[in-house]
Structure formats: C-alpha cells, structure tokens
Amino acid sequence: MRKIIALLHVSLDGFATNANGEMNWIKFDEELFDFVGKLTDNADTALYGRITYEMMDAYWPGAADKPNATKHDIEHSEWYNNVNKVIVSGSMKGTEKNKTTFIGDNVTEAIKELKQQEGGNILLLGSPSVLRLLTKHNIIDEYLLFVNPVLLGNGIAAYPENIEMTTLEPVAPTTFNCGVTLLQFTKK
C-alpha cells in the first residue's frame, strides 16, 4: 500500500499561515531543499488543496526556464511537471488538465482508494485544509513538520480541533542550518 506523507511548514505555535494567509515567515535553504528532493524522488503523486495547488501551478511549471533558476528550481520544476497531481477542490471539480485529477466529492474515500493503487508515495504538500481533513479521518501515514523559529499568534491552524487521539512513532529530529527543525512522526 502507498503511504501518504504530509509535509507542512508550521510556526512554533502550530499555524500553517499567518492571519492574512501569508507564508512569508517560512525559512528555507539548499540543505532543506535537498532533503525534500530526496522525498520527491520516491513519490509519484502530489496531493494539494486548491489554494496551494493554484500557488504551485502558477510557479513550478516554468520555474526551470527562468533566468537565474536555482538547482532546486530546476529539479522541483521537472518533478512537478512529471508527477501526478491530485487536487482536493469542489470548485475545480470537472476541470481537465494533463497529469491532474480534481476531486470534490467523497474526498476521504477517493484518497483511501488512491492509497490502494500501485505506485510510489503520495506527498501532501502544504494544504492545511486537506491535512486537517485527512488527519481527522486518520489517513496520513507520516507527518513531516518543518517547525519554523517564529510565533505567529494567529492564522490558519495546522490541525483540526476535536480529533481522536492517535499515537505516533517519532523519528529523530533534524535541524537545518536555516533554523528550521524537522519533526517527523509515523503511524504505529
């Protein structure tokens, strides 16, 4: 069975965005990009919510072609253009795009069916609304939280309220030179 691995940048106080929906507080560097590159090497599907997808799709398809494109821009652009993308969106359902599937009905059942298919890992990239939904239904197999050294005070919460207790197995944390600490947990 395929694994769903959730990757999310969070503030120390558990927010995925600030109150305005911005993520300009997120820190990153080449070391962190290289780490994520290893994860994308083992994934053949990207899972997004509509907002994150629109942001990603506005940048990544042509990122490698921009003047001064970084190594990360080139590598991630290639991955993005070749990976299967599954978008959770009621408003985009029925839209057609190459290597992209839009689901808006029976989302948890559709994601469970996706996990049963042959293939590599499924990366849930950002998309706090999808993360909250899949967490509530205990569908995520592994959580990778990139904890940024900032307290936001408010914003979009990374996790839903009133979820059932789920015990996870911790993996040793990793601290990147940019100050971000990776907390990684897997289902038992």
Tell me the average pLDDT of the chain: 93
| pLDDT for the residue numbered 57 | 94
Answer yes or no: is pLDDT of 29 > 90. Answer: yes
Q: For the sheet containing 4-11, what is the strand order?
A: 100-103, 84-88, 43-49, 121-125, 4-11, 142-148, 181-187, 168-175
Largest interatomic CA distance in the chain:
48
Q: Which domains does the chain have, with CATH numbers?
A: 1-7+32-147 (3.40.430.10)
Percent residues over pLDDT 90 in the chain: 86
Summarize pLDDT for 54-112 with one digit per residue, the tens.
999 999 999 999 999 999 999 999 999 999 999 999 888 777 888 999 999 899 999 99
CA distance 22 to 32: 20
- pTM of the entire structure? 0.93
Rounded average pLDDT over 43-59: 95
